[in-house]
Amino acid sequence: MSENLLQHIVSPTDLRKLEISQLPQVAKELRDFIIDIISKKEGHLGASLGVVELTIALHYVFNTPEDLLVWDVGHQAYGHKILTERKEKFHTNRQLGGISGFPKRSESAYDTFGVGHSSTSISAALGMAIASQLKGENKHHIAVIGDASIASGMAFEGLNHAGVTDTNLLVILNDNAIGIDPSVGALKNYLTSVKEGKNPKQNNMIKSLNFDYSGPIDGHDLPKLISELERLKKVKGPKFLHVITTKGKGLQLAEEDQVKYHAPGKFDAKTGEIHPKSEENLPMKFQDVFGLTLVELAEKNPKIIGITPAMPSGSSLKFMMEKFPERAFDVGIAEQHAVTLAAGMATQGMVVFCNIYSTFLQRAYDQVIHDVALQNLPVIFCLDRAGLVGEDGATHHGVFDLAYLRCIPNIIIFAPNDEIDLRNILYTASLGLKHPIAIRYPRGRGKIPNLKSQIPNLKFLNIEIGKAHLLKKGTKVAVLSTGFIGNNVSLALDKMKNADAIAHYDFGFVKPLDTDLLDEICKTFSKIITIEDGAIKGGFGSAVIEFASENNFKNTIQTLGIPDAFVEHGTVDELQKICKIDVESLVEIFEKQL
């Protein structure tokens, strides 16, 4: 049996001491290492398995970290991390206090740019290349971008600029025909035809942007990859290499079901079989409540449309895409387009549900303001993954939406306390509103067991816009919560002996606020506590403080939520504890107020 090579590789310097003939063995060992750890610890599997050879080739040919390598999104960077001095720490991936699941500048000199959202790599690498030119430095700058990410507008903006420079930039297209879900759109069809050799003349699409185009080549053929990268090192100006890979390469089940194995949870390292999780009696996932409710509503209303930017599985819009394919659209990684497309449809009287993860709506902020709110178009934004999302960390937490939406005129903001609230606000919005609305709900499961079996007997209720309500009476302190985090308040109060002193109010609407009830609360209680799973600065608590100030109330108001810092990765429970919005922390805070 041959000696294990990976155990002797700490950094790319060690990798470069090997013969090219030894690298396929390193590739096999690297895949086995990733599979072994991720099978136990969970994480993004398929993308990293797909670029093992490309990762090895890049660090073998280029003098990283002096040569600057940028990974787009970063789902695929596990091999990169293992080869760049983090092999011994890799088992801590995505855990509290451990290494990040994405490239992160503060973690390593080899992580030249922090990523997590897509389509940033070309602009970032071009910025680095121009800076190197200005400083008179002779470096290589490489952006590795997937076929789903390159279809995004920002990637085209980067290509457009790069093509009129003479910078030392290499863009590598990692083409595996899938992002998290299968890639979509005309560009995907173009790339497929190039791969199949059906229209080689159309290679000019990249060439016409003044890039030196080469490929497509097999991204799993190490000698060929290394040879081509060595050639490209000598080519001046912007270059483009088209590489074909298979997501999940090396684990048969991951190759066969690339959507499921993007982030499969725990699985058997030898067979790839995913460990089954019992879902019996568990509450539904909020995303499924959204997806199935939308189908229910769309069955009755032919004007209902669903839109998602590349998240049909993650948002559960897939249910509507299966039932009403002509009225449900996956527009690819194109949040700006998704929002303005929804706005255009709304001008024609369509009832448009635009489902975007909270963290990704940040990418379309101008469109929300200029194309929707300014024109007062009743687009229904469904913001999945609002609040703390857990192990994906700072790039993915949906904690800024309350603050960045609350300042926009015309927009309604609602956070359901539970799954029934979510169903009812979706129903209410489908009846027609006079303003746009943002409905924010968390990642993961709700709180109602066996809801799916109850749905056929549930009647929809029309929710009164801007109305808050009392959940529990109290005498001394008023706790005002918004959204699902309010359930932590209820659980905390259940644990307290002196809970009678605390009143609990559910403010589902952060905008418009229920000012009548708020006025009554401010007159009744000298102490008020607000709680949200969003940024404290500018969020729901800030809205309450503004109201009190404007109306000359002198209440003591304590705001709880996400502090003024980027929250790193860990489980949701761990992160709630750090932010002091977990059940135990709330018990302590409430008792102090009494």
Burial 527-552 (b: 16+ CB within 10 A, else e): bbbbbbbbbbebbbbbbbbebbeeee
The residue from 247, 285, 406, 440 that is catalytic is: 247
Q: Name 110's Cβ contacts closer than 8 Å, sequence gap at least 6.
A: 12, 64, 65, 69, 80, 84, 85
Percent share of the chain, pLDDT over 90: 89
The residue from 335, 391, 419, 532 that is catalytic is: 335
* Residue 278 reports pLDDT greater than 80: no
- Quick: pLDDT tens for 192-237: 888 777 765 555 788 889 999 998 999 999 999 999 999 999 999 9
* Range name among 187-191, 447-451, 524-528 with the lowest pLDDT average: 187-191
Percent share of the chain, pLDDT over 70: 99
Q: State yes or no: is 247 an active-site residue.
A: yes
Q: How confident is the model at residue 377 (pLDDT cuts 50, 70, 90)?
A: very high
Q: With beta carbons less than 8 A apart as the criterion, state whether 289 and 419 touch.
A: yes
Q: With beta carbons less than 8 A apart as the criterion, state whether 438 and 384 touch.
A: no
Residue among 361, 384, 405 at smallest CA distance from 539: 405
The dihedrals phi and psi of 481, each to the nearest 5 degrees, come to: -120, 155
Domains annotated on the chain, with CATH = 6-256 (3.40.50.970), 283-457 (3.40.50.970), 469-593 (3.40.50.920)
Q: What pLDDT score does 134 carry?
A: 97
Residue among 200, 195, 74 at smallest CA distance from 145: 74
Give the mean pLDDT of 144-158.
95
Q: Omega before 512 cis (within 30°)?
A: yes
Q: With beta carbons less than 8 A apart as the criterion, state whether 74 and 128 touch.
A: no
- Quick: pLDDT tens for 13-31: 999 999 999 999 999 999 9
Average pLDDT, the chain: 95
The residue from 87, 188, 318, 363 that is catalytic is: 363
Q: What pLDDT score does 461 carry?
A: 97
Q: What pLDDT score does 201 carry?
A: 53
- Quick: pLDDT tens for 84-104: 999 999 999 999 999 999 999
- Quick: pLDDT tens for 450-491: 999 999 899 999 999 999 999 999 999 999 999 999 999 999
Q: How confident is the model at residue 576 (pLDDT cuts 50, 70, 90)?
A: very high
Q: How far apart are CA 519 and CA 325, in angstroms?
A: 47
Q: With beta carbons less than 8 A apart as the criterion, state whether 417 and 486 touch.
A: yes
- Quick: pLDDT tens for 415-436: 999 999 999 999 999 999 999 9
